[in-house]
Each structure stands twice: as structure tokens, then as C-alpha cells.
Amino acid sequence: MKRVIAILLVLAMLFCLCACGNGGQNNANTNTDTGNTENVNVVPEPEPEPEPPKPKYYNPLSGEETEEDISSLRPVAVMLNNISYAMPQHSNSAAEILVEMNAEGNITRMLGIYQNITAETGRIGSIRSARPYYLDWALAFDSLYISVGGSNTANAQIKSRHVDHINGMGYTNIFYRDQERKAAGYAYEHTMFMTGERFVNGFAETDFRKVHEDGFDTALKFTEEAQTAGGTAASAVTVHMNSKKVTLFDYDSASKKYLISEHGDKFIDGNTGEQVSVKNVLVLHTKYRRGPDGGGTLLADMTGGKGVYICEGKMIDIEWALAEGKGLTLKKADGSPLELMRGHTFVCCPDADSGGVDAL
């Protein structure tokens, strides 16, 4: 019996020692004020703060997304030669907007409007002389205007309308005569070019304003879906610029763009060797009249009128208006705003009397 009692005493002592070794907590926290126990709360690691989304920037002349904000930059509007034996043009595909208008003798010239000419743009041209109605486009988009000389009326308006103008007759650090063209027998007036690098360096040395003034708006609106639903078929389009000159647009369903042809052949960018294509085609019927300079030079009413919009194989009627410092306003036939699809745009301004548009 004594032996049993001794064993029990030893066991009791061992139990007390174990309890003391655990601090009397048994893996629990003791509340010294109340004697109650609580489970240990495991605090989770804080989750990292999510990175803020990158801001999205858009080209104001095409609606396309850009890596940096170039929306405040003034565009550059360049007079491009469009005579058949002066082709190909160079850097025509880089212009967000190409505007084709009539000139004297049933020929046409183009204005390439570039949102941001960079050193990588390559050579641009050939560059020709100014005409007054191209000034309307340059001023509407608050552009720097580039030509090589001009008609008397155009030169007078450049001064009276305070157009920021770089003239190839004077800025030799920007312009150059293409020696390969001269050797190939091109006439002298078809050899004037500039490069993106020469322009960037030369423009930086001028006092011309480099950015838009606050509040400027191109008036152009863009969308992801073509607003030509219910329009007529327009897979093959012929624009009669006048009684003799036509421009052709063929819809490519794979790229959903229009391939352009001039003078019965593909309209090529001489820098790339590829046919120029655009997402949007605007045909703006324009009233022309004889100008005071002689030689068949023209004037044009660019305040506005009727026209058609062509996109993704369809064509609809529109109304348009061009205003200095206010861009190009486009409306559908019902008066609601027209939004272009994101991408480059070709604008034809055929003679309202002798021109027109056919589509299949």
C-alpha cells in the first residue's frame, strides 16, 4: 500500500512539473486579468498594392493608340506632288490624313497632314508649291504648312492669314534636291524633298509655335465600329476628281482597308515600295472657280457642303464643314455626328460640277 501511494505521489509531481513547463498555457494565451484563454490570431501578410493602369494616349488625327502623348503637338501639312510622271510619292503612307484636290490643268495635288514627323519618318516628297485652298486645311488643324513657293494668291494669303509657313525656297537646312531623280531625268520641280531628321532639326531652330494653344480640337471623333450600316455597296470606288482625273479605291476584306490607285496604277510609298491603304475614305464635293493668277489656277470654297463617307465596303451620305482653328466637322445625313473608324483617312475633294463618285 505504501508503494502505491509513493507511485501516485511521483506521478502527481511529474504532472505539476509538466504544467509548469508549459507555463500553464497549453498553447493558449492566458489573460492575466480574467484567467481566460484565447486562440492565437495569425495576421496575414498585406497584399501588394496593384499598379495603377497605364494612361492611354491617342493620335488626334487617326484615333489610334500611341505610346506617348502627342496630342498637343501641332501637325505638319506638306504639299505633295501628284503628277503621274513625278511618282512615287515618299512618306505618303505616314500621313494620318491625305487630302487630294484639283489644281490647274485637270491635275491634282495632295496635302499630307502628319501628326508627328520624327527622324525615323524617312524622306518626304516630292514637295510642290502652295495653293490657297490647302491653307484652309492647314489652318483648320492648326498645322505648320510646308511648300516650295506658291501661286501669287497663296503667297499673299500666307501673309494676310498669318500662316506658319516653311518655304523650301529658303530653308536649305530642311530641304534638298534629290540627285538620283535629277540623274534619272526628272524635271527640276519634281526633285525637292526633305527628310524627317532634317525637318526635326530645322524645325527646332525656328520660332514657330510647337504645340496647340489650350482648347484646340480637331473636331474629329473616332469609334471601333464602322458607322456605315445601311449604306450602299462600296467595294470598288471610283472618284472622278474632274472630267479627266480619277482616283480608285478597292476594298481589301482581309485588312478591312481600302487600297488606293492613282493614274491607273497602285499608289505606292516610295520609302516602303508598298501600296498605300486607308481605313476611311471621305469624298467632299467642292465648288471650284477660276483664280486671279492665270494659267488655270483655281480657288475653292472650303466652308462646307455635302459628300459621302466610305468604310468597310459601305457608303453613306454626309455633310461636312471646315473652319479655321476648328478642324473638320462631319455629320450623317440625319444631322447626328459622324465618327470615323480608328485609322488613316484619305480625303477626295472632287469638283461638285464635273466630278463625282461611283461605287460597286
Asked if residue 171 belongs to a domain, the reply is: yes
Asked if residue 315 belongs to a domain, the reply is: yes
Note down the domain range covering 197: 57-359
User: How confident is the model at residue 39, as a pLDDT?
Assistant: 55
User: How confident is the model at residue 173, as a pLDDT?
Assistant: 92
Asked if residue 7 belongs to a domain, the reply is: no
User: How confident is the model at residue 172, as a pLDDT?
Assistant: 82
CB of 127 closer than 8 Å to CB of 168: yes
Asked if residue 23 belongs to a domain, the reply is: no
User: How confident is the model at residue 43, as a pLDDT?
Assistant: 76
User: How confident is the model at residue 128, as a pLDDT?
Assistant: 98
Tens digit of each residue's pLDDT, the chain (360 residues): 444 444 444 444 444 444 444 444 444 444 444 445 455 567 778 888 888 788 899 999 999 999 999 999 999 999 999 999 999 999 999 999 999 999 999 999 999 999 999 999 999 999 999 999 999 999 999 999 999 999 999 999 999 999 999 999 988 899 999 999 999 999 999 999 999 999 999 999 999 999 999 999 999 999 999 999 999 999 999 999 999 999 999 999 999 999 999 999 999 999 999 999 999 999 999 999 999 999 999 999 999 999 999 999 999 999 999 999 999 999 999 999 999 999 999 999 999 999 999 999
User: How confident is the model at residue 350, as a pLDDT?
Assistant: 98
Q: Count the alpha carbons within 13 Å of 244 in the hemisphere toward its beta carbon.
A: 7
Buried b (16+ CB within 10 A) or exposed e, 181-191: beeeeeeeebb
**Distances in Å between the alpha carbon of 58 and those of 24, 62, 65, 76, 170?**
69, 8, 4, 17, 34
User: How confident is the model at residue 42, as a pLDDT?
Assistant: 73
User: How confident is the model at residue 14, as a pLDDT?
Assistant: 46
Total domain count, the chain: 1
Asked if residue 285 belongs to a domain, the reply is: yes
Whole-angstrom distance, CA of residue 43 vs CA of residue 41: 6
Whole-angstrom distance, CA of residue 115 vs CA of residue 58: 11
Asked if residue 169 belongs to a domain, the reply is: yes
User: How confident is the model at residue 22, as a pLDDT?
Assistant: 47
Within 10 angstroms of residue 242's Cβ, the number of other Cβ atoms is 18
pTM: 0.86
Whole-angstrom distance, CA of residue 144 vs CA of residue 134: 12
Residues in the chain: 360
Residue with cell string 524635271: 187
Asked if residue 89 belongs to a domain, the reply is: yes
Asked if residue 198 belongs to a domain, the reply is: yes
Domain holding 214: CATH number? 3.50.90.10
**Distances in Å between the alpha carbon of 78 and those of 32, 120, 144, 253?**
86, 17, 8, 31
